[in-house]
Amino acid sequence: MTEALVQHTLGAYLKALFDTDKATALRIVQEALDNHMTPESVIFDVVVPGMEQMIGGMISDNQITLSQHFLASQIAEEVTDRLLPLFSSAPAIQGTVVIGTSFGDFHGLGKKIVTGCLRARMFQIIDLGINVAPERFIEAALETGAEVIGISSMMVHTATGDRGPKKVRQLLREQGLEQKIRLIVGGAPYRFHENLYREVGANAWADTAASAPAVVAALVKEVRQ
């Protein structure tokens, strides 16, 4: 396997992501494996950089669209799931994240995009789905030893309401869990209001799905210190 092959594969993969062409993206992954690229290299040299360059908006002057975000993350998750069992040794898990949409919120797109990004970066994800009660976030984090709870909200009232992140923060405080579990939020309302995450009691928010792994990694590090 040569550096030239990696660069060629990454370039072709990026083009397929930009064109939202899933079939071609998956075919490029398969061709790379057929050309003896290791599963580890496919993930860390093609799929993850592809996803991060795509979602980070580094391959176009135009802003990247949600459908491109969605597809890049979806393919990353699918390929990661398929190739992880083929790794020569089990990868180190970077941390565990319990994720879901806030109570009363039935919009799962943002959560899905972030989940794909985190899984490809070797975080273990406990996906609680949509419309999640605040108590359930705490319960799942305790059951799985998660360092981070991630709450996605599409609507202002589910981001700021009494049964959303604010309640999760209250429960963390009441149960003395604030040093053990960090809270991150994301979703449309936070993009319109950069300080909203503080007002709902979160430790952090990520501007893009691509930046989520770094922000979550920093939170995991804080907890583990």
Q: C-beta of 216: minimal distance to another protein in Å?
A: 21
Residue from the set 157, 177, 178, 180 that interacts with another protein by CB under 8 A: 157
107 is catalytic: yes
CB of 21 to another protein, least distance (A): 8
Whether 36 is catalytic is: no
CB-CB contact of 108 with 69 (8 Å): no
The neighbour count for residue 175, using CB atoms within 10 Å, is 12
Closer by beta carbon to another protein, 8 or else 107: 107
CA angle 186, 190, 196 (to 5 degrees): 110
CB of 74 to another protein, least distance (A): 8
Residue 193 or 221 having the CB closest to another protein: 193
Q: Smaller CB distance to another protein: residue 6 or 188?
A: 188
Cβ atoms of 163 and 112 closer than 8 Å: no
Beta carbons of 64 and 54 less than 8 angstroms apart: yes
Q: Which is nearer to another protein, 2 or 62 (CB)?
A: 62
Which is closer to another protein, CB of 198 or CB of 221? 198
- Answer for which of 5, 15, 108, 211 binds another protein (CB under 8 A) is 108
- Minimum CB separation from another protein for residue 189, in Å? 6
Site for another protein in 15-34 (CB under 8 A): 20-23
Cβ proximity of 180 and 124 under 8 Å = no
Catalytic residue among 8, 21, 107, 127: 107
Least Cβ distance, residue 140 to another protein (angstroms)? 22
Q: Are 128 and 136 in contact (CB under 8 A)?
A: yes
How far are the Cα atoms of 38, 40, 161, 169, 186 from residue 134, in angstroms, in the given order?
41, 37, 11, 9, 16
Catalytic residue among 19, 45, 69, 105: 105
- Site size for another protein (CB under 8 A): 33
From the list 146, 149, 155, 219, which residue makes contact with another protein (rule: CB under 8 A)? 155
Residue type, 172: L
End-to-end CA separation in angstroms for the chain: 39
Helix (H) or strand (E) holding 4: helix 3-18
Instruction: Answer yes or no whether residue 171 interacts with another protein by CB under 8 A.
Output: no
Instruction: For residues 45 and 9, give the distance between their C-alpha atoms in angstroms, rounded to a whole number.
Output: 9
Spatial separation of the C-alpha atoms in residues 97 and 182, rounded to whole Å: 10
Residue type at 70? F
Residues at the contact surface with another protein, assessed by CB under 8 A: 20-23, 62-63, 65-68, 70-71, 74, 104-109, 112, 131, 155-158, 160-161, 188-189, 192-193, 196, 199
